[in-house]
Amino acid sequence: MTPLLTILLAASTTASTTTLAGGEAGPRRIGNHSPAFPVPTNALGFYMNYTGFTYTNAARTDGTRTYHEGIGPKVLDMIANADTHIILSVFLFDNFYSEAPVDRDIVGVLTKALLARRTARPDIHIALILDPSHAAYGQRISPAERTLRAHGVDVFYSDLLSDLKKASALGVRETLGGAGRLVDTLTFNLWGNTSGAILNAIKLPKRFDDEYLSLESAYNASLMKANHRKLLVCDVHGADWDALVATANPHNASAYHVNTAISVRGEPARYIYHVLREDMQHSAGLGKRFAHWHDDADRTYRHSLMTTRFPELPPGPTADVDPSPRAASPATATVRFVTESAIRDAVISLLNGVEPADEVRIQMFYLSFQPVLDALLAASRRVDLPIRLLLDANKDSFNREKDGTPNRQVARYLLREAQATGGKLEIRWYATHGEQNHVKTMSIRNRLTGRTRFTTGSANWTGRNLDGVNMESNLVAEDAPPINAGFDTLFDRFWTNADGVEYSLDYEVFREAASDAKWRRGEKPWYLSSF
């Protein structure tokens, strides 16, 4: 690459930032590690979707699945009570359909809720931020997007080329994509319009939902990146803000997945609003391929969106507070919002801080990132009681059968290493029946001091999710006992199969014989295993 092209590409991929009062840099669309915001514990909420299975015969061939939904009602309540703003950023919405029919139309329910609030409050500003997979990595317009845009909702697609870590060691795909974007800019979109028309005319045999893929779609998909976030932020009657940080996608084929979410009101929610605002502003600046305005949006509307409709909010506190129990009253928690590689740092820091009297519960969809495994094994050598991991067996993916990578091989590795080094670990599998144990959550609670630490959000504990390749978002809450208690109570129910309902299975059920090499291959940057 020539020095000139290197300079131009660097200039075109600079992360945008919000500047707060006094010139201090505020939230960015990528790479956030927020201040530790003090919030009342009653400003936090914990929600969970989970399934259980009850067999009706001794042979265990027939049974019924029960489902508890805690996240959906919270989402609908937030939307119904929003006054002036709703922003939703999600990985899966109206895309990636299951091969088998589904009986819960989550997309339809959410779309109707947004339109109902739009009808009740015609002046409300609603925006969706989606992963490019919704556009089939090309120019597909989903049915839900058409409906929403016809009713005044703007839809933005996140830029996965800029600011994120390269998905391969050489970054060839990102370099080619950046060069093409630069040429398109210099030719006033002539290159993009011409090449796009040609590429879209060449249809590949594989279908995406009801439409064929193109060479353009295949190239964009080859970046193997995602806006993997699951975020909702709304104002509450114009006076406060409420945010939901979840592991759940509002997606029909994911309807019965096991998921967790945590809500927070006040300054952390305002911070999350600014992060999403920065992503919207970045996409709006990249033109019509990334900004799908509502049908009646004119030039004036588009140019004033970020100043009059999604403005910067007054800054909140920016100084960190001491998160130790001595610094906080029993009714005060501290909350941090972290994205991308800051999630990695937070998870490892939490594990490094585990003390002998800590009870550690981890429920995880994908687990394979070696630095986290090292911290987990080290923590297992310090605790009095075993660290408990409730993992997905990686056997179900939208009615397709998977081979257990990476969790089954990683579980084998962890138990072997813990036994060899004096660690205390126990592992069970969530008993899935087509759905996924899609949780990415850790709870740490000290039996002696009562101190609690908790994190949940979009990030699986894999290299792609924790090393800055994907767009991810997590919340870390400390000294929030009600949050930990809500999760711990359910986790213990799953672990013990309380009330005769099967929630989990013994480790031996999915004992893995494959070598470590199988899951380690999955940690190479080019391997798509971490969604």
For residue 320, being part of any structural domain is answered with no
Q: What's the pLDDT at 185?
A: 54
Q: Do 431 and 299 lie in a common domain?
A: no
Q: Do 345 and 293 lie in a common domain?
A: no
Q: Do 266 and 333 lie in a common domain?
A: no
Angle at 234 between CA 232 and CA 238, to 5 degrees: 175
Tokens for 472, please give them: 């991810």
pLDDT above 60 (res 479): yes
Q: What's the pLDDT at 465?
A: 93
What does the alpha-carbon distance between residue 79 and residue 74 come to, in Å, rounded to a whole number? 9
pLDDT above 70 (res 179): no
- pLDDT tens digits for 494-519? 999 988 899 999 999 999 876 777 77
CB within 8 Å of 358: residues ≥ 6 apart: 383, 444, 445, 446, 447
Cα atoms in the Cβ-side hemisphere of radius 13 Å centred on 149: 17
- pLDDT tens digits for 262-315? 999 999 999 999 999 999 999 999 888 899 999 999 999 999 999 999 999 876
Q: What's the pLDDT at 404?
A: 86
Q: What's the pLDDT at 177?
A: 55
Q: What is the domain range of residue 429?
A: 325-521
Q: Note if the bond before 406 is cis, omega within 30 degrees.
A: yes
Beta carbons of 91 and 531 less than 8 angstroms apart: yes
For residue 24, being part of any structural domain is answered with no
For residue 373, being part of any structural domain is answered with yes
- pLDDT tens digits for 127-137? 999 998 876 65
For residue 6, being part of any structural domain is answered with no
Average pLDDT over residues 188-200: 54
- pLDDT tens digits for 27-42? 999 999 999 999 999 9
Q: Do 443 and 506 lie in a common domain?
A: yes
* CATH number of the domain enclosing 488: 3.30.870.10
Q: What's the pLDDT at 514?
A: 67
Q: How confident is the model at residue 26 (pLDDT cuts 50, 70, 90)?
A: confident
Q: Do 89 and 150 lie in a common domain?
A: yes
337-to-37, 197, 241, 244, 500 alpha-carbon distances in Å? 9, 41, 15, 11, 38
φ, ψ (nearest 5 deg) of residue 336: -120, 140
Least confident of 80-84, 136-140, 148-152, 331-335: 136-140
Q: Do 304 and 333 lie in a common domain?
A: no
For residue 206, being part of any structural domain is answered with yes
For residue 37, being part of any structural domain is answered with no
pLDDT above 60 (res 204): no
> Which helix (H) or strand (E) element contains residue 299?
helix 299-304
pLDDT above 60 (res 3): no
Average pLDDT score, the chain? 83
Pick the more confident residue, 366 or 18: 366
Q: How confident is the model at residue 62 (pLDDT cuts 50, 70, 90)?
A: confident
Q: How confident is the model at residue 380 (pLDDT cuts 50, 70, 90)?
A: very high
pLDDT above 80 (res 257): yes
Q: Which of 309, 336, 351 is the last residue of a domain?
A: 309
Q: How confident is the model at residue 57 (pLDDT cuts 50, 70, 90)?
A: confident
φ, ψ (nearest 5 deg) of residue 390: -110, 100
- pLDDT tens digits for 64-85? 889 999 999 999 999 999 999 9
Q: Do 190 and 278 lie in a common domain?
A: yes
Q: Do 174 and 242 lie in a common domain?
A: yes
Q: Which of 247, 276, 309 is the last residue of a domain?
A: 309
Q: Which of 277, 309, 341 is the last residue of a domain?
A: 309
Least confident of 46-50, 329-333, 407-411, 507-511: 329-333
Q: What's the pLDDT at 221?
A: 57
Q: Do 279 and 362 lie in a common domain?
A: no
b/e burial code for range 61-87 (CB count within 10 A of at least 16 → b)? eeeebeeebbbbebbbebbeebbebbb
Amino acid identity of 211? E
With a pLDDT cut of 90, the percent of the chain lying above it is 63
Using DSSP's 3-state secondary structure scheme, residue 471 falls into: strand
Tokens for 471, please give them: 């767009």
For residue 203, being part of any structural domain is answered with yes
Average pLDDT over residues 174-183: 53
Greatest mean pLDDT among 62-71, 100-109, 170-179, 255-264: 255-264
Average pLDDT over residues 87-116: 85
Report the domain count for the chain. 2
Amino acid identity of 162? S
What does the alpha-carbon distance between residue 304 and residue 113 come to, in Å, rounded to a whole number? 26
Average pLDDT over residues 135-148: 78
Cross-strand pairs, 503:
none
Tokens 């091969």, residue located: 99
For residue 101, being part of any structural domain is answered with yes
Beta carbons of 503 and 394 less than 8 angstroms apart: no
What does the alpha-carbon distance between residue 409 and residue 304 come to, in Å, rounded to a whole number? 52
Q: Do 272 and 329 lie in a common domain?
A: no
φ, ψ (nearest 5 deg) of residue 265: -105, 155
Q: Do 392 and 273 lie in a common domain?
A: no
Q: Which regions of 303-379 does DSSP assign to beta strands (E)?
A: 332-339, 358-364
Q: Do 296 and 347 lie in a common domain?
A: no
Average pLDDT over residues 334-353: 98
Greatest mean pLDDT among 204-208, 324-328, 331-335, 402-406: 331-335
Q: How many residues does the chain have?
A: 531
